[in-house]
Structure 1
Amino acid sequence: MRIALLSYSTKPRGGVVHTLALAEALAALGEDVTVWTLARGGDEGFFRPVDPRVRLSIVPFPDAPGESVGERILRSIAVLRSAFTPEAYDVVHAQDCISANAVDRCVRTVHHLDAFTTPELAACHERAIVRPYAHICVSAAVAAEVRTGWGIDATVIPNGVDYVRFATARRSLSRGRYVLAVGGIEPRKGSLDLLEAYALLADPDVRLVIAGGETLFDYREYRARWEKRAAELGVTPDVLGPVAHDELPSLMASAAAFAFPSTKEGFGLAAMEALAAGVPVVTRDLPVLREVFDGAARFASDPAGFARELRAAMVGPDPEPGRALARRYTWTAAAERHRAFYRSVSVSRTSRD
């Protein structure tokens, strides 16, 4: 099969990590795979090297100073649409609402559902659910949301995790003891709750480290609120920003605990990577995260709960339940299930035509 996987960015966000790992696993199975994406901010490639068996079509997308979020969304769709060549592929698989809007007919992975206030983004989100002819979700909880909201039955294919990369990462003591969060400072990541939890933790020997943060959206107002609240609480987290691909496993493996207070997730790939690294995880008590992590992580619903569970997680953690869970999710298995799904929907479409 000639397969096109479409993403909206070259930056290290969860959906982009998923796209590249899936593409490489499909190529390893012998499939002809091309990844299409927009090169934002002058990028000439992805945030990490990509298996040469995967073809890359990286469409230039220069910055436009003063552009609003809505304008950026519409321009993103238009630029990718004008460059993409759907006739070259047997399967077109979009991984986000921007790339799904840039093509007329596609398979769509719905990683998680959001409620957007920007009109252009809300419309993009809606079209990217109703227009694709077939749907995949990375968890049963998100599939249930899609069914309830739109009457669409999605096939559940969980993420994989690069287990060996994180399980074999070298620990470092250079940063001292710290709680790690990955994903930057933004509303969906529950950053304000994490800040409150860290203040309640009240352990001067434990620092809060926040990595990541590449995003299409403008969270400057939220970041300002977060910084103001940090000053009020008298805490100074270590905000790293984007971390190099090769440095992330060691940063993860060296943490005393991994905090995952997201308010919306489809699977929780970063938390699964932390478990692979042998790090205890405390995550928000959401149906999707109960589905994925129950028995291998601790759960909390508010800052006080996060502080309590983080404190407990850092006392004599047993890494084996988490490692055992992470070992179950392989990209090879995910690719095999995707390939079977592509074949089944292709047969279904042919029979209808």
Structure 2
Amino acid sequence: MTVTFFIPGDFPPTTGAIVFDTQLAEQLRSLGQDVTMAPVAGAHPGPDAAARASARELWRAHRGRRPDDLPVIDGFCLYAFDGLEEHLQRAGAVGMVHHLMSLEPQLSEAERDCFAAIERRVLPRLARIVVPSETTRSDVLAALAVPPKAVDVVTPGIAQAARSIGSGGRICRLLAIGSLIPRKGHDTVLRALAGLPDLDWMLTICGDGGIDPAHAAALQSLVEETGLADRVVFAGACAPDQLEALWRNADIFVSGSRFEGYGMAVAEAVRRGLPLAVTKGAAAPEVIPNEGSVIVDSGDFVQLSKGLRRLVFSLPLRQALAEAAWQAGRAFPTWAEQGTRFAKLLTAS
């Protein structure tokens, strides 16, 4: 079997979707499959003219060179293939839908309608839709006229990782991971922490600030307005070694995300045995262990602040939640397991 992954070319390699695609591609190669990566140029997921042109050019080149190859299209660049539905159907294309863009909470009604229209045109023509969680599968089946047997769940694998040991100091170190975009809810976290001036804590936010510079600037302004400038570090898109050090020395993982199709950062925090203070939108329900987490409604910075106060104040509570998270993380599948499952699905397509 030969496979080509079409991926959004403007996404950083550390983006969860790209990690998902590249990890599955590596696992397919380890199983003896011939795999090619085809980055689609232009802006994604809302495709501009360059993205649409790139999708068509890559598709023509791909089908001319490898007509028997199985195309796998990442869900964030799939919108650039609008208008190619018949070609996708004839080729038996597979879509990797991390979540439906029409469900993004920060979009305008017109933007959601535009994404939803493309989803209705393109997704039902795919031979198979692969999603990262049962929650996303339910969303797809509720929104689109596709048969249930055409939608399969392949959760991301979670690499083996050392257990977080914590800072071991007087200051409680909090870690948040996610691009500086509205959906990630870093503003909720900052407003929650603004209510804890009497406690000793530091927050590091690891995430790309170049995707939405205006929102990144707004977060910086919020830090200044709330008097948190000496307690919050914007670390940017962290290199692997830098991120590993942050994971190792963190005391609490925090997320205010409003919507995730799976929640890879939360899953890794669980795998590493970190206590969580998160919103319900930070990950699919099956990812967040009730016993190892403080969980509040999306956008509710008041309750998140109350939960963080308990965690920052009480080392015994953090230790209890950390152990519960560590035990829950043992059940997460590896990339090798998920690569094998994905290969079987492609063979059946």
TM-score band by shorter chain is 0.7 to 0.9
Aligned equivalent of 1:299, options 265, 275, 295 = 295
Q: Alignment partner of 1:159: what SS?
A: coil
Counterpart of 2:97 in structure 1 is 110
What do residues 48-93 of structure 1 show as CA deviations (whole Å, max 9, x unaligned)?
xxxxxxxxxxxxx5x8xxxx98996331232243134145253211
Mapped partners of 2:77, 2:155: distance in 1: 22
SS of the residue corresponding to residue 81 of structure 1 reads: helix
Contact 1:163 1:326 in 2 (8 A): no
Q: Is the 8 A contact 2:294 2:307 kept in 1?
A: yes
What secondary structure sits across from 1:252 in the alignment?
Answer: helix
Evaluate the alpha carbon distance shift between residue 249 and residue 202 of structure 1 in structure 2; reply closer, same or farther with a 3 A threshold. Answer: same
2:51 to 38, 52, 76: 76
SS at match of 1:178: strand
Out of 242, 250, 256, the residue aligned to residue 255 of structure 1 is: 250
Between the aligned partners of 1:172 and 1:322, the Cα distance in structure 2 is 18
2:20 to 1, 18, 21: 18
Aligned partner of 2:276 in structure 1 is 281
What residue ranges of structure 2 are gaps of 5+ in the alignment? Answer: none
Match of 2:342, as an amino acid?
A: H
Residue in structure 1 matching 2:218, options 222, 225, 228: 225
Between stretches 1-10 and 135-144, larger displacement belongs to 1-10
Which secondary structure does the structure 2 equivalent of 1:160 belong to? coil
More divergent stretch after superposition (295-304 vs 330-339): 295-304
Greater alpha carbon shift after TM alignment, 190-199 vs 312-321:
312-321
Higher mean C-alpha deviation, range 232-241 or range 101-110: 101-110
1:265 and 1:145 map into 2 onto residues whose CA distance is 12
Change (3 A) 1:227 1:127: farther
**Could you tell me whether the CA contact under 8 Å between 1:262 and 1:284 is conserved in 2?**
yes
1:147 and 1:124 mapped to 2: Cα distance? 15
Contact kept? 1:13, 1:214, Cα under 8 Å: no
Q: Is the 8 A contact 2:4 2:36 kept in 1?
A: yes
- Separation in structure 2 between the aligned mates of residue 287 and residue 245 of structure 1, nearest angstrom: 22
SS at match of 1:247: helix
CA contact (8 A) 2:45 2:79 kept: no
Normalising by structure 1, report the TM-score.
Answer: 0.78
Structure 1 residues 172 and 128: alpha-carbon distance in aligned structure 2, compared to 1, 3 A threshold? farther
Say which of 192, 199, 213 aligns to 2:208: 213
Q: Residue 22 of structure 1 contacts residue 334 of structure 1 at CA under 8 Å; is this kept in 2?
A: yes
Q: Please point out which of 132, 136, 139 is paired with 2:133.
A: 139
Partners of 1:174 and 1:223 in 2: CA distance: 30
**Distance in 2 (alpha carbons) for counterparts of 1:310 and 1:202:** 12
Distance (Å, rounded) in 2 between the aligned partners of 1:256 and 1:169: 8
Which has the higher mean CA deviation after the structures are superposed, 308-317 or 248-257? 308-317
CA contact (8 A) 1:114 1:264 kept: no
Which residue of 317, 329, 341 maps to 1:326?
Answer: 329
State the partner residue of 1:46. Answer: none
> What letter is aligned with 2:224?
A
Structure 2 distance, partners of 1:249, 1:143, is: 31
Moved more, 260-269 or 20-29: 20-29
Higher mean Cα deviation, 227-236 or 286-295? 286-295
- After superposition, the C-alpha distances for 1:171-220 in whole angstroms (9 at most, x for unaligned) are 667995321111132211012211111112334521121111266x5x33
Q: TM-score, normalised by structure 2?
A: 0.79
Aligned counterpart, 2:8: 8
C-alpha RMSD of the superposition: 3.0
Say yes or no: does 1:149 pair with 2:149: no
Q: Distance in 2 between matches of 1:127 and 1:171?
A: 49
Any gaps of 5 or more consecutive residues in structure 1? 39-60, 346-353
Q: What are the superposed Cα offsets for residues 263-321 of structure 1, whole Å, 9 maximum, x if unpaired?
A: 11011111111222222122212495322223343311211221222233443323333
3-state DSSP class of the match of 1:238? strand
String of CA shifts for 1:84-114, please: whole Å, max 9, x gaps. Answer: 4145253211122324634641211211223
> Which residue of 2 is the match for residue 94 of structure 1?
73
Question: What SS does the aligned partner of 1:234 have?
Answer: coil
* Partner residue, 2:177: 182
- In structure 1, the partner of 2:156 is 159
The one-letter amino acid of 1:151's match is: A
